[in-house]
């Protein structure tokens, strides 16, 4: 696909106004503290036999939004007991935690990894094991518009809360150095990585160290209003389909989305970050990625793939992941 968005010299300075609700910080502080009060984290780790001789894997369960169990994998090198620097990894849209051997790259590099399952997903590119019992309401097929009538009922409020809790779940493991944790993900996983970093900083009284960094590849859910008029590729196509029918709900829909929009969350995040973008990406258009990147409040770098789409850098970007983790975790 040819370049269809702004040229690169305009992307690097693209800084749109933020459509930000006045109570964004209060909403997230209330959401996280209410969940803490009602639903203790209750994380468990159970060792499993994967057939890999150099990686120890444990089946993770922790309490997510609404008291619902959220699954994950925890990997660490068999010859290293800890405390280990750790990467919390989030999965793209439709996928789940996958089979245990699919996510051991960072463990092979000497770090621990917690891979969070996606509630309600796991029937796309990777299998999952976590359901979603939250409200959905009238919505287009998929997850983007589920519960979108309000931020309190929205699907992404639930899974963003899970993402923040996954960081704390990882820190409960005895092999984890709680002062050396970073978050990582691509597409929806990039949105979750950015959300986890922002919510960890927004949340008062966490009593734990700040994150060491965030890897945010081709993030979904950034500058969503622009994305909705640039592309009809899914998942944004779900939003287009929904608003095509719900003609009277446009502003309320974007109000809900403003609570999870990565542009607004990026402005609240100060840990070092690495973003990446594919300039031919029709799923998460380049200007939406740069909107979040240019509003990001902390030290940052962007890796650009001029001739790639949403697949981004693929294995080349994994090399960048290892470099970034080595630089910020040791």
Over residues 192-204, mean pLDDT: 91
Which pLDDT value is given to residue 204? 58
pLDDT at 136: 66
Instruction: Assign 263 a pLDDT band (cuts: 50, 70, 90).
Output: very high
CA atoms within a 13 Å half-sphere pointing along the CA-CB vector of 25: 9
Using pLDDT thresholds of 50, 70 and 90, give the confidence band for residue 50: very high
Position 139 scores a pLDDT of 62
- Rounded to an integer, the average pLDDT of 237-250 is 93
State pLDDT tens for residues 207-227. Answer: 667 899 999 999 999 999 999
Q: How many CB atoms lie within 10 A of CB 1?
A: 11
Percent over 90 (pLDDT), the chain = 85
As a whole number, the mean pLDDT across the chain is 93
For position 150, what pLDDT does the model report? 96
Catalytic residue positions, numbered? 187, 281, 310
pLDDT band at 180 (very low <50, low <70, confident <90, very high): very high
Structure tokens at 120: 């309600």
Q: In what order do the strands lie in the sheet with 300-305?
A: 44-48, 55-63, 69-77, 112-116, 84-90, 176-186, 213-217, 273-278, 300-305
CA distances from 288 to 67, 141, 146, 271 (A): 33, 23, 22, 20
Q: Is pLDDT at 137 greater than 90 in this prediction? A: no
Query: Looking at residue 207, what is its pLDDT?
Result: 60
Please, which residues have CB within 8 angstroms of residue 242's CB and are 6 or more apart in sequence?
A: 139, 140, 144, 145, 148, 249, 253
| pLDDT category of residue 206 using cuts at 50, 70 and 90 | low
8-329 CATH, one of 1.10.260.40, 3.40.50.1820, 3.30.1280.10, 1.10.10.10: 3.40.50.1820
293 known ligand binder: no
pLDDT value, residue 197? 97
- The predicted pLDDT at position 202 comes to 85
**Alpha carbons 283 and 280: distance in angstroms, whole number:** 9
């Amino acid at each position: 696909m040819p370049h269809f968005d702004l040229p690169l010299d305009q992307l690097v300075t693209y800084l749109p106004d933020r459509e930000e609700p006045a109570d964004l910080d209060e909403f997230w502080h209330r959401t996280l503290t209410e969940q803490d009060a009602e639903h203790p984290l209750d994380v468990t780790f159970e060792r499993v036999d994967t057939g890999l001789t150099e990686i120890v894997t444990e089946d993770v369960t922790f309490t997510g939004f609404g008291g619902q169990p959220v699954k994950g994998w925890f990997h660490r090198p068999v010859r290293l007991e800890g405390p280990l620097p750790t990467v919390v990894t989030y999965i793209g849209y439709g996928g789940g935690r996958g089979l245990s051997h699919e996510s051991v790259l960072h463990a092979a590099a000497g770090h621990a990894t917690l891979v969070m399952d996606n509630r309600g997903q796991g029937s796309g590119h990777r299998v999952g094991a976590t359901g979603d019992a939250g409200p959905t309401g009238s919505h287009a097929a998929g997850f983007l518009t589920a519960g979108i009538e309000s931020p309190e009922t929205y699907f992404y409020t639930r899974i963003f809360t899970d993402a923040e809790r996954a960081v704390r779940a990882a820190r409960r493991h005895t092999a984890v150095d709680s002062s050396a944790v970073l978050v990582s993900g691509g597409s929806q996983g990039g949105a979750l990585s950015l959300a986890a970093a922002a919510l960890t900083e927004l949340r008062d009284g966490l009593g734990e160290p700040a994150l060491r960094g965030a890897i945010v590849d081709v993030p979904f859910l950034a500058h969503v209003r622009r994305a909705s008029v640039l592309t009809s590729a899914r998942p944004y196509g779900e939003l287009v389909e929904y608003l095509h029918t719900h003609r009277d709900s446009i502003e309320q829909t974007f109000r809900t989305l403003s609570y999870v929009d990565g542009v607004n969350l990026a402005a609240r995040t100060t840990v070092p970050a690495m973003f990446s973008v594919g300039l031919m990406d029709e799923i998460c258009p380049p200007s939406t990625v740069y909107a979040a990147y240019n509003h990001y409040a902390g030290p940052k770098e962007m890796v650009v793939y001029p001739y790639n789409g949403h697949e981004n850098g693929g294995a080349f970007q994994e090399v960048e992941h290892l470099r970034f983790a080595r630089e910020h975790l040791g």
